[in-house]
Structure 1
Amino acid sequence: MNKLRPDLQIIADNISPKARVLDIGCGDGALMAALRDQKQVDARGLEIEPANVASAVSKGLSVVQGDADTDLSAYPDGSFDYAILSQTLQTTHRPNAILEELLRIGKQAFVSFPNFAHWRVRMSLLVGGRMPVTRLLPQTWYDTPNIHHVTIDDFRALVRDANLTQQGEWFLSGDKQTSRAMANLLAEHAVFLLRR
């Protein structure tokens, strides 16, 4: 079995066995396969890239091609225990509306994203004066799918403004978890668990 990306491993570790899960922007289905095989989760996926859909389906996963910005309204209210959006929020047109949809569809929602306030990103802008290219943000500014440059503090404010409850938060520096202390500056990646 392939090792999961660190943010996906955090999500997998915190999902209850036999839960119903919708993974939005599921990529090739790595998280779904791990949840199915290790926790007997009923996992469904929504993915925009046809090659990723084909890869996930070839693993025996239930994945359909679709776009988070337009296709979430087709899912009934409360139809999943968890809705997952990993490394996708910053690519959506209306992140606040996506959060509402996640928590309409799922009882709880996991959201993970790269932190655009990480010190390396800040230094790249300060010293080089150009948008950074990093391990978690590997594309140049004109070739990136990221249209919203979200920070941990921005996301916390969005959660607060939307009157959502934050049930858990995890931060990664490199591939290792780091503390909450100064997470907006020191964490490269964040994972949040939300509910209404």
Structure 2
Amino acid sequence: MTELRPDLAVIARNVAAGSRILDIGCGDGALMAVLRDEHGVDARGLEIDPDNVAAAVSRGLSVVQGDADTDLADYPDQSFDYAILSQTLQTSTRPRVVLDDLLRIGRRAFVSFPNFAHWRVRLSLLWGGRMPVTRLLPERWYDTPNIHHVTIDDFRALLGERGITVEKSWFLSGDKQTGSAAANLFAEHAVFLLSR
């Protein structure tokens, strides 16, 4: 498999071959290209950054410029097997609405996000008193696109409130998978496969 960011690799391994997917916040289309080329997936994308849209289109991918906060309402119900939102939920203005739209548009949804309750984040705040800058959260607080600092436990609570089913979850520390028991403390990133 082509080298992907760890959360994208998890998603790529778990999307059924031949599926129809919508990758929201698809970046340069790296995941879509792997799914198309290695799994025979019919992949479509939505991306806000025009340079990323151009990069994805240059790979021969079907990507349109748009914003998850406003443009998901235009997609018909159940038009995809999977809606994918990788490291985009925390950048959205209305995460609950985006999450509901994902599960309206797709029969199932993958959501991945950085866990702001990871022990390194907590330690940085405790000892340094400042928002952390790490390998996986490389921007300073004033440059970050993250506007909602979500934790795994926060996300699980939101899913419970919205009546959303977790079919499967993966917790990543660096490039390796970690257990779910203390994921809120030890996982840097989380990936959830969801359904209604």
TM-score, shorter chain, exceeding 0.5: yes
Which residue of 2 is the match for residue 83 of structure 1? 83
Give the unaligned 5+ runs of structure 1: none
Q: What secondary structure is seen at the aligned counterpart in 1 of 2:44?
A: strand
Deviations 1:147-186 (A, max 9, x none): 0000000000000000010000000001111111200000
Instruction: Describe how 1:1-196 pairs up with structure 2 within 5 A.
Output: 2-196=2-196
Give distance in 1, aligned partners of 2:68 and 2:143: 20
Deviations 1:98-154 (A, max 9, x none): 110000000000000000000000000000000111111111101110000000000
**Aligned residue pairs: how many?**
196
Runs of 4 or more consecutive aligned structure 1 residues displaced over 2 Å after TM superposition: none
Give distance in 2, aligned partners of 1:181 and 1:162: 23
Residue 2 of structure 1 and its aligned partner are, at CA, apart by 4.0
Deviations 1:47-99 (A, max 9, x none): 00001000000000000000000100110000000000000000001111111
Give distance in 2, aligned partners of 1:117 and 1:135: 15
Corresponding letter in the other structure for 2:119: W
Corresponding letter in the other structure for 1:44: R
Give distance in 1, aligned partners of 2:112 and 2:136: 12
Corresponding letter in the other structure for 2:57: V
Give distance in 2, aligned partners of 1:96 and 1:50: 25
**Percent identity (aligned):** 74
Corresponding letter in the other structure for 1:5: R
Corresponding letter in the other structure for 2:165: T
Q: What secondary structure is seen at the aligned counterpart in 2 of 1:99?
A: helix
